[in-house]
Amino acid sequence: MKIIVTNTKGGASKSTVAYQIASAYMLNKGLDFTHYEFDDENLDATIFSKSKIKTEQLPVEMGEGLKERLRDLFWEEENFVIDVGGNKTTTIFLDALKKSYMFKKVDLYIIPSSGGSQDIKNMKTTYDLIKKMDPNAKILFALSRVRSPKRVTYQYTNFFKMFPNAKYIVLKDSDVVDLSRKMQKSILEISKDEEMKKKLEKQLDQAFEKNDKEGMYNYSIMLEIMDESKEFVEEYIKKSFEVIDEVIGK
């Protein structure tokens, strides 16, 4: 299973989608894999130091070095996710993928967007680059930071006009994403972390005993969000897993 998450625009929720969806998908299946970040600036995955997801940086190299690194990676590793940085980094990566012919071994491309009109234009640019390289490429779109799933067609009007028949997943804007970063684990993991929940409950009890209003607010809110994470996983993450299975034919 080899998944590439990319969009030519920076700030399009690539890192969130790569970690919370693509890598969580592999973690959920019990696969031995690595989450790679092809980016010299935004090393987002290093935040999740308590997660079971293994992360590593792929240096942004020019010329022959990158092509050979990709050949080695595709030969040596059966499963991985690559979170590709935006702007020029995307062009460098896709060019090396094309010239090395390793695109033939990619199972799925995920193109995310955070909702801005420029994101949608760059989605189309990225889609065209991938399809020009590989007309048979399997592509899934990720609509991130969705305010209201029932109104997603309003928030993403331009996307649905541009890609009326596309396969897509929805990731709701939620405090659960922020809690995941704070707890340094994926949303999938924190939704199952009963030990952490008991620890927070104990800290909440201590805050009440000490008449610590700030602590009471913080711990009670974190517990509330932990409860919300279970629903978030069922409504968005696991449904995303089902769509990935559908697109890649599993």
What value does the mean pLDDT take over residues 82-107? 93
What value does the mean pLDDT take over residues 34-43? 85
Q: What is the pLDDT of residue 44?
A: 78
**Domain-by-domain residue ranges, the chain?**
2-174+233-248
Q: Is 250's pLDDT higher than 70?
A: no
173-197, pLDDT tens digit by residue? 999 999 999 999 999 999 999 999 9
Rounded to the nearest integer, the mean pLDDT of the chain is 93
What value does the mean pLDDT take over residues 125-144? 96
Class of domain 2-174+233-248: alpha beta
Q: What is the pLDDT of residue 174?
A: 94
Lowest mean pLDDT among 25-34, 51-60, 180-189: 51-60
Q: Is 139's pLDDT higher than 70?
A: yes
Give 63 or 237, the one with higher predicted confidence: 237
Q: Is 198's pLDDT higher than 80?
A: yes
Nearest alpha-carbon partner for 174 in 142, 141, 146, 143: 146
211-227, pLDDT tens digit by residue? 999 999 999 999 999 99
Share of the chain above pLDDT 70, in %: 99
Give 119 or 18, the one with higher predicted confidence: 18
Q: Is 159's pLDDT higher than 90?
A: yes
What value does the mean pLDDT take over residues 229-242? 96
Q: What is the pLDDT of residue 63?
A: 61
Lowest mean pLDDT among 13-22, 27-36, 39-48, 214-223: 39-48
Q: Is 88's pLDDT higher than 70?
A: yes
What value does the mean pLDDT take over residues 37-55? 87
